[in-house]
Amino acid sequence: MRSDRLLALRQRVVAAFDQAFGDTPTAVVAAPGRVNLIGEHTDYNEGFVLPAAIDRHVLLACRPRHDRQVRLYAADFSAASAFSLDDIRPDEAQRWSNYERGVTLMLQQAGHQIGGADAAITGDVPIGAGLSSSAAVEVATAYVFQQLYALPLSRVELAVLCQKAENEFVGMRCGIMDQYISALGQRDHALLIDCRSLEYELVPIPGDVAIIVCDTKVQRGLVDSEYNARRRECEAGARLLGVPALRDIDPETFARRAHELPEVTRRRCRHVVHEYQRVLDSVAALRAGDLAAFGALMYDSHVSLRDDYEVSCRQLDVMVEAARRVKGVYGARMTGAGFGGCTVNLVDAGQAETFRRQVAAEYTRLTGLSPSIYVCAAEDGARRVL
């Protein structure tokens, strides 16, 4: 079933390319969105995260050009945007194109020789839902230029360059997690990523559990400004504790030194130092086949994000509580930056349908909103599909 979705998207993007440029593309690439199982707001503190790439993708169909023009067509918005590689500035009217613009700028700043391209874009990663549609666009763009111009670029370098585009061109100071997993994800696995060394370990996802994403349908508000504010608070905490990053403080040291920090900074830091320990503990639990222990850590993570980091919202809390009451649920938590978006749930595979029905009914009863609920498969990172 998962390849059917991709096949349909491939047809759609090839048709969009033909409609926009009157030709067939020379390559089509797909880059996945992601769900983070645990390890939230730890990446920019140089800690650990445990995301999986999911079977929702952004596709770019492309063809090289002989000049320095890049022409983009976003099929899902019926919108076009074009620019020259010699004069890359943000497009205020077609803001979706700033991800592609930023990536082409960073590729050139890193010394890569690229020429122009025509590209059509489509996808089925929900936009603004916290499943990293923007990272998928960035990674797909970088991968398209790598394919068209045979760029010598490792997957990790590609991810770092995409993160730089988002930090410096788009203005969101995100960590490395989303771009990394979209570039390096592996089918049926989560990746334990060390966001300091940029190395990873593969963690198999057991066949008898389903990873279910519940979209609250609350579009994430304030995410850029609040996100950047959290990042500054963590940096202030690390400075006051005299360490390069919060990664360098373990929970015991933190307990001894927490009184040195002002109240809000203390709560932000408490979340981070415990969260990265939870990631390591949850990987040990998963490897030992202890899903109950893994799930308990997911609930703890949610409470910490809600009370100490203050990035949850009522609808996310309601969705987690609704899940907790369903039989066969090991754990649930908000996933991604927060302020709306999705929860991630670890559920006994045999209970997935009951989960979907009960959680949807309960969430609608309490919020008046109808959620989208998907069972996700862990997918490979960016790849050519034509």
Which two tokens mark 37?
A: 């199982």
Q: Is 44 in the site for ligand GLA (CB under 6 A)?
A: yes
- To ligand GLA, the closest distance from the beta carbon of 192 in angstroms equals 14
Which residue, 40 or 233, is less far from ligand GLA as judged by CB? 40
Which residue, 178 or 233, is less far from ligand GLA as judged by CB? 178
Q: Is 276 in the site for ligand GLA (CB under 6 A)?
A: no
Kindly write out the interface string for residues 119-158 of this chain, putting x where it contacts ligand GLA by CB under 6 A and - elsewhere. ----------------------------------------
Contacts (CB under 6 A) with ligand GLA, residues 165-194: 174-175, 177-178
- To ligand GLA, the closest distance from the beta carbon of 44 in angstroms equals 6
Q: Is the dihedral of CA 16, 17, 18, 19 positive or negative?
A: positive
Q: How many residues bind ligand GLA (CB under 6 A)?
A: 10
Kindly write out the interface string for residues 316-355 of this chain, putting x where it contacts ligand GLA by CB under 6 A and - elsewhere. --------------------xx------------------
From 6, 43, 164, 339, residue interacting with ligand GLA (rule: CB under 6 A) = 43
Which residues contact residue 285 at a Cβ distance below 8 angstroms, ignoring those fewer than 6 apart? 291, 293, 294, 297
Q: Cα angle at 174 between 172 and 177, to 5 degrees?
A: 150
Residue pair 57/185 in contact by the 8 Å Cβ criterion: no
Q: Is 41 in the site for ligand GLA (CB under 6 A)?
A: yes
Helices and strands, counts by H and E, the chain: 11, 13
- To ligand GLA, the closest distance from the beta carbon of 181 in angstroms equals 10
Residue pair 384/27 in contact by the 8 Å Cβ criterion: yes
Which two tokens mark 10?
A: 């491939």
Q: Cα angle at 32 between 85 and 61, to 5 degrees?
A: 45
In the chain, the largest separation of any two C-alpha atoms, in whole Å, equals 66
Q: Is 275 in the site for ligand GLA (CB under 6 A)?
A: no
- To ligand GLA, the closest distance from the beta carbon of 270 in angstroms equals 16
For 195-223, give one letter per residue: b (16+ CB within 10 A) or e: bbeeebeebebeeebbbbbbbbbbebeeb
From 40, 55, 100, 118, residue interacting with ligand GLA (rule: CB under 6 A) = 40
DSSP-derived secondary structure for 38-64:
S-TT-GGGT-EE-EEEEEEEEEEEEEE
Which residue, 55 or 178, is less far from ligand GLA as judged by CB? 178
Examine the residue annotation and report whether 194 is marked as an active-site residue of this protein: no
Out of 178, 215, 300, 308, the active site residue is 178
- Give the interface with ligand GLA as residue ranges (CB under 6 A): 40-41, 43-44, 174-175, 177-178, 336-337
Which residues belong to the active site? 178
